[in-house]
Amino acid sequence: MPEDTKKKEKQTNIVDTIWDFFTSLKLVITLLLLLSVLSVAGTVIEQNKPIQEYYRFFKPETVELFSKLGLLDMYHSWWFTSCLALLALNILACTMERYPFIVRGMRRQSVVLDEKLEAGLTNLATIKYTLPAETVESRVTAIAGKNFPARPVITEAAGAKHLFYEKGRYSRLAFFLTHLSVLVIFIGAITGSLAGFKGYVNINEGETISSIPARKGANKDLNFSVKCNTFQVDFYPNGAPKDYRSDLSVIRDGKEVLRKTIRVNDPLDYEGITFYQSSYGRLPNAVTFEMRGRGGVSLGNVSAPFGTQVDVPGGGIKIEVLDYREHFHLSDGSEAGPAYGVNIIRPAAAPEGIWISEPKPEMNRYGEYSFVVKDARFINYTGLQVNKDPGVWLVWTGSLILVAGIMMAFFMSHKKFWIRIGKDKKGQVVVTAGGMTNKNKHAFAGEVKKLVDGFREVS
């Protein structure tokens, strides 16, 4: 054998081996079970928590190991994604492998019930009649027509009349629907993660925003702005929230182009960007502190608007209210009521942040200063999840196809049924009939039996 051919043969062998690997049932089942076992890990180790949380529950070296293995964000890890990619390749290869068989199965093959076909039918029945051929034909086709609504293919061959009935031919496509739909869903998910965007924004009542802080990466600038006109929340008698809603306006070039009250389960959609009611809260608009100096001597009141640096009288320092917690927890876990996050700015020094508790003024010391909260005015804000997902329609399309495919696969089958009306040597009318199906053979055998029993009763 020349070297060339040998080489070629070897190559084809490798290709064949790879192809066999990707189309093997073993791979499908291994992948399905492997993916389910791997997924368990991600439900046992909570995913995507702030790293400090893990250190509270695991040893530092365990956290490092988990982090290295990608176990803290495992559904996006290279090995989990590879398994999904392998599954996609597997589906694609199996679909290609199956394609010719399915097409062949759908092609209308033998419309004539000949000896070769007869040999392949397990439920073949032969019935002799004393009636004329026309009568037999009209009665037998009437019975068969009730079971097979589509008109039969009629062929005259070898001195006999052959009728071919068929039902559910397209159910053979179920294989493509169920398998390709999964790929469509994958493509939708990939599109969403590549071209989409997920963010979260708080808007104070009466305020307008035109960019969204993204979960990952830079801020997303909108080419319109969104105003929260009002925010309202209703409670049940037991104190649980019953309904919360934001009255939003979409403003473009200074004009309101859309206005909608959104609630949980009823978002606002504008130019492919969706605003979901996610949470709510309130922030202090302005806080008044009584400042005390050395020995508890009052330095007078300071009124600090949120996010603005204010001079402290006679102190040479500035303060700025930057944060607020409705229920502030101390490091020992006890609650210290509402607290204000304040930055203290000394000249020529980095600002220092402290929490100022409203109900516990004795805790609010900073160097020689102490703070007493005298008054606070609040403003409501609405918390919005903001998404753009250009792949989501593919996910829903894939889902619909998947359900349709599964229904077809389980509840429909390709049924074929043949009737031959001929005469034997004595000139007596003979009907030969039998059927074949690709699925649920037991139920179809009953169907055929019922038809044949009907034929026998023709007299």
Partner 1 sequence: MTNSLLFGISIFVYFFSMVLYVSYLAFRSESLGKVATFVLLAGVGVETAAIFLRWYESYQMGIGRAPLTNLYESLVFFALTIAVVYLIMERKFGIKTAGAFVTPFPFLIMAYASLNPNEIQPLVPALQSNWLISHVVTCFIGYAAFAVSFGVSFLYLFKVRAERGPAKSKKGDTLLAYLPESDLLDEVGYKTIAIGFPLLTIGIITGAFWANVAWGTYWSWDPKETWSLIVWLIYAAYLHARITKGWKGKKAALLSIVGFSATLFCYLGVNLILSGLHSYGGAS
Residue ranges that bind partner 1, judged by CB under 8 A: 25, 28-29, 32-33, 35-36, 39-40, 42-44, 46-47, 49, 53-54, 57-59, 62, 75, 189, 198, 236, 238, 240-244, 263-267, 274, 276-278, 385-387, 392, 395-396, 399, 402-403, 406-407, 410, 442
Closer of 229 and 397 to partner 1 (Cβ): 397
Least distance in angstroms from the C-beta of 17 to partner 1? 20
- The C-alpha atoms of residue 151 and residue 44 are separated, in whole angstroms, by 58
According to DSSP, residue 171 is labeled: G
Helix, strand, coil content of the chain in percent (nearest 5): 40, 35, 25
Closer of 15 and 403 to partner 1 (Cβ): 403
- Asked if 246 and 228 count as a contact pair (C-beta separation under 8 A), the reply is yes
Radius of gyration of the chain (CA): 38
Closer of 380 and 387 to partner 1 (Cβ): 387
The whole-angstrom distance between residue 87's C-alpha and the CA centroid of its chain comes to 17
- Residue located via tokens 């009953």: 446
Count Cβ atoms below 10 Å from residue 110 Cβ, excluding itself: 14
C-alpha triplet 318, 324, 328: angle, nearest 5°: 115
- Residue located via tokens 């037999």: 136
Least distance in angstroms from the C-beta of 164 to partner 1? 27
Residue 314 burial (10 A CB sphere; 0-12, 13-18, 19+):
exposed
Beta strand ranges found along 174-216 (DSSP E): 197-204, 208-212
Closer of 48 and 285 to partner 1 (Cβ): 48
Closer of 364 and 387 to partner 1 (Cβ): 387
Least distance in angstroms from the C-beta of 27 to partner 1? 10
User: Residue 366's closest CA among 289, 428, 437?
Assistant: 289
Least distance in angstroms from the C-beta of 240 to partner 1? 6
332: phi then psi, degrees, rounded to nearest 5: -85, 5
Name 426's Cβ contacts closer than 8 Å, sequence gap at least 6.
none
Least distance in angstroms from the C-beta of 336 to partner 1? 21
User: Residue 275's closest CA among 304, 252, 245, 255?
Assistant: 245
Least distance in angstroms from the C-beta of 25 to partner 1? 5
Closer of 267 and 284 to partner 1 (Cβ): 267
Least distance in angstroms from the C-beta of 392 to partner 1? 7
Least distance in angstroms from the C-beta of 382 to partner 1? 13
Closer of 53 and 134 to partner 1 (Cβ): 53
Tokens matching residue 257: 């182009």
Tokens matching residue 2: 């020349």
Least distance in angstroms from the C-beta of 327 to partner 1? 18
Closer of 144 and 386 to partner 1 (Cβ): 386
- The C-alpha atoms of residue 321 and residue 319 are separated, in whole angstroms, by 7
- Asked if 114 and 158 count as a contact pair (C-beta separation under 8 A), the reply is yes
Closer of 62 and 122 to partner 1 (Cβ): 62
